[in-house]
Structure 1
C-alpha cells in the first residue's frame, strides 16, 4: 500500500470518527497512534511520547491557562456588566447606538479574553435582553452579538492564534500583533454597517427615550466612565508592557491574570464562588486544549513521516497545474466548508499538518496565513447549517429568538467578514506591518 493511500485512509478514518460524534482529541489521537504502530511497529509508540514532551517543553503554552483565567474572572465577577452599562448610557442617544456599543464591548472583552465563547456568553446574557427590551430589531441584534463575539479569536490575546503558533511553530507575539489591525478593521466595518443601516431604517435601532436620558445626570455619566478604566488598565498592563519590551509573552499573560484578579478585588466582587467558578472553567478549557494539541502533534508527526505534505503539494501544483493563489483560495474554502460541522480548534488540528507546510512551500508568509486562517474561522463560525456560533446563540438566546431568526441575522455580517478577508489577502501589510515594525526596531 502506497504512502498516499495510507494518508488518505488516515484522513478519512479521522473524519468518520468525528462525524460519529467522538471527541476531537480522541478521534485524532486514536488514528495517529494506530497508524504509527501499523507503519513502524513498537517504535511507533515513541511518537506519542515525543509529542507529549514537545508539548510540555513549549514555554509559551503557559499563556493559555492564564488568559483563559483572566477572561473568566472578568465574566464571573461582573466587571463586563459595568462596561456594558457605560456603553449603554453614552451611546443611547444615537440610532443603533446600543448595537454599536455592543460591538465596542465585544472588542474590549476580546482584548481581555481570547475566546469567542466568553464574548457570546456576555453578549447573550447582558446585551441581548437589554437590546430587545429597548425595541431593537431581534434579527439585527442577534447578528451583532454573534459577529462581535467572533472577534475574540482574532484580537489578542487570541487563544486560537496561540494554538496556531504551537502547531505552525511560529512566534505567538508576532501572530498577536498581526491580528490587531485586521481585528479593528473588522470591528470598524461592523460599526459602519450598523450605523448606516440604522440611519436608513431608524426603527431597527431606536434611540434611548428622552425622558430616560434626562434622568441620567452628567455626574452619573462621568462616574460610569470609570467602568472603562478597568479594562483599559488590564489591557495596558498586559499588552502595553509587552509591546514596550518590559515583559515577555508569558509574563504579560501573568500580569493580565493578576490585574483581572486585583480589579475584581478592588470592586469587591472577588469571593469564593467567583474564584471557584473561574478556576473550574479555566481548568476544563485548558485541559481540553492540551489534549487536542497533543493529539495534533502526534497526528502531524505521522503525516510528516509519510511525506503526505509533499504528495499534496505535487498533486495541486504539478498535476492540477494550479497557481499558488488558487491553492490558497481552495484552502480557505475548505475551512469554511469544515466550519459548517467543526469548531476552529478541530479544523486547525485536522488540516494544519497538511496546509501549513504547503503554505510555506508556496512562498506565503506563515504569520499572515495565521490571520487568514483565523478570519476564515470567524466566517465558518457563522455559516449554516452547523456553525459553532449559531448553536451557541440558540442555546443562550431568549425564546422569542428562533433558529430561523439566528440564521437570517448572520448574512450581512458574514459578507462584512468576507470583505475583511479579501482586504487582508490583497493587502498583506494590513496584518504584517505591526509585527514587522515592533520586532524590527
Structure 2
C-alpha cells in the first residue's frame, strides 16, 4: 500500500471517529497511535512518547493556564459588568450606540482573556438582555455578540495563536503582535457596519431616550474608572512584554496576578469565585494539553509517511497551481471544515499538511497564523455547526430562535471575509508590528 493511500485512510478514519461524537483528542490520538503501531511495530510507540516529551519541554506552554485563569477570574468577579455600564452611558446617545459599546466591551474582554467563550458568556448574559429591553433588533444584536466574541481568538493574548505557535513551531510573541492590528481592524469594520446600518435604519438600534441621557459629565467621568483596572491588567501584561521588560511566560504570570488583585480591590475575590475560576481553568487547560499531544503525535506520523512532500508535489508540479491559488484553496477548506469542526480540531487535522506546505511555498508562517485565526473566526459563525451559533442558542432568551441566530451572522460573516481578504492582500497589516518590535 502506498504512503499516499495510508495518509488518505488516516484522514478518513479520523473523520469517521469525529462524526461519531468522540472527543477530538481521542479521535486524533487513537488514529495516530494505531497507524504508528501498524506501520512501524513496537518502534511506533516511541512517537507518542516523543510527542509527550516535546509538549512538556515547550516552555511557552506555561502561558496557557495563566491566560485561561485570568479570563475566568475577570469574568467570574464581574469586572466586565462594570465595563458595560461605562460603555452604556458613553455610547447610548448614538444610534446603534449600545451595539457599538458591546463591540468595545468584546475587544476589552478579548484583551484580557484569549478565548471567545468568555466574551460570548459576558455578551449573552449582560449585553443581550439590555439591548433587547431597549428595543434593539434581536437579529442584529445576536449577530453583534457572536461577531464581537469571536475577536477573543485573534486579539492577544489569544489561546488559539498559542496552540498554532506550538504546532507550527513559531514564536508566540510574534504571533500575538501580528494579531493586534487585524483584530482592531476587524472590530473597526464591525463598528462601521453597525453605525451605517443603524443610521440608515434607526429602528434597528434606537438611541437612548432623552431622560436616560441626562447624565452629568461628572458622573460620566466617574464611570470611566471602570476601565482603569482592565487597562492596568492589559498594560501590565502586554505592555511590559512589548517594551521588552518581561518574557512571554512572565507576562502571563503578571496578567494572572493582576486579574486576582483587581478582583481583590473590587472586594469580589470570594471563595466561590476562586473555586469556579480554578475549576474551569483546570478543565480547559487539560483539554488543550490532550489536544496538542494528539496533534503532535499525528504530525509525527505524517512526517514519517512523507505525506507533506507528496501533497506539495501534487499541487505544484502535477496540477501546476500557483502558490496564491493553493493558499486560497487552503482557506476555503478551512471555511468548509468550520461548518462541522471547531478551531482546535481544524488546526490539528490540517496542520501536519498545511503548515509545512505554506513554508515550502514561501509564505511567512506568522502571517499565515493570522489568516488561519481569522478563518477560524468565520468558521465559528457558519452553519450548520458553528461553535458560536450553539453557544448563542444555549444562552439566548426564548424569543431568539435558531433561525434568528442563523440570519444574524450573515452580514458579519461578509465583513469578516472582507477583513480576511485585506490581510491576505496587504500582509503588512499583520506584520508591521512584530517586525517593528523585534527589529529593536
If the length of structure 2 is used for normalisation, what is the TM-score? Answer: 0.99
Aligned to 1:245: 244
C-alpha displacement of 1:294: 0.2
Q: Distance in 2 between matches of 1:362 and 1:218?
A: 56
**Other structure's SS at 2:178 match:** helix
| Bigger shift: residues 313-322 or 54-63 | 313-322
Partner of 2:363: 364
- Which residues in structure 2 correspond to 1:125-140 (within 5 Å)? 125-140=125-140
Q: Give the superposition deviation at 1:317.
A: 1.0
For residues 320 and 400 of structure 1, the distance between their equivalents in structure 2, rounded to whole angstroms, comes to 51
Output the CA distance in 2 between the equivalents of 1:317 and 1:20. 35
Instruction: Name the counterpart of 2:437.
Output: 438
How many residue pairs were aligned?
440
What are the residue-to-residue correspondences of 1:12-161 with 2, within 5 Å? 12-161=12-161
Deviation for aligned residue 1:230: 1.0
Which residue does 1:164 correspond to in 2?
164
CA distance in 2, matches of 1:369, 1:310: 19
Residue 24 of structure 1: CA displacement? 0.3
SS in 1 for 2:52: helix
Quote the residue 2:194 is aligned against: 194
Hey, what's the Cα distance between the residues in 2 that align with 1:389 and 1:337? 16
> How many angstroms apart in 2 are the aligned matches of 1:185 and 1:213?
29
2:174 is aligned with 1:174: yes
Q: What is the SS of the residue equivalent to 1:225?
A: helix
Are residues 1:4 and 2:16 paired? no
Give the Å deviation of 1:220.
2.2
Residue 318 (structure 1) shift: 1.4
In the TM superposition, residue 319 of structure 1 has moved relative to its aligned partner by 1.6
In 1, distance between residues paired with 2:218 and 2:264? 25
Distance of 1:78 and 1:69 partners within structure 2 = 14
Deviation at 1:10, TM superposition (A): 0.6
Q: CA deviation at 1:115?
A: 0.2
Displacement, 1:336? 0.5
Using the size of structure 1 for normalisation, the TM-score is 0.99
1:344-400: per-residue Cα shift (whole Å, max 9, x none)? 000001100000000000000000000000000101111111111111100110100
Post-superposition Cα deviations, 1:44-82, rounded to whole Å, max 9, x if no partner, equal 111111100000000000000000000000000000000
Partner of 1:319: 318
Deviation per residue, 1:115-149 (Å, 9 max, x gap): 00110000000000000001100000000000000
Distance 1:285 1:221 in 2: 38
- Structure 1 distance, partners of 2:134, 2:264, is 32
Residue ranges of structure 2 left out of the alignment (5+ in a row)? none
Provide the C-alpha distance between the structure 2 equivalents of 1:9 and 1:198, rounded to a whole number of angstroms.
51
Q: Which runs of 5+ in 1 are unaligned?
A: none
Residue in 2 aligned with 1:403? Answer: 402
Aligned twin of 1:263? 262
Q: Deviations over 1:144-163 (max 9, x none)?
A: 00000000000000000000
SS at match of 1:16: helix
**Per-residue displacement from partner, 1:157-187 (whole Å, max 9, x unpaired)?**
0000000000000000000000000000000
Equivalent residue of 2:50, what SS? helix
Following superposition of structure 1 onto structure 2, how do residues 224-235 of structure 1 map, counting pairs within 5 Å? 224-235=223-234
**Secondary structure of the structure 1 residue equivalent to 2:144:** helix
Instruction: Say what the alpha-carbon RMSD is for the aligned residues.
Output: 0.6
Aligned-partner Cα distance in 1 for 2:239–2:309: 41
Q: CA deviation at 1:218?
A: 2.8
Is 1:223 the counterpart of 2:222? The answer is yes
Matching residue of 2:183? 183
User: 1:300-339 maps to which residues of 2 (within 5 A)?
Assistant: 300-339=299-338
* Alpha-carbon distance between aligned partners in 2 of 1:423 and 1:218, rounded to the nearest angstrom: 39
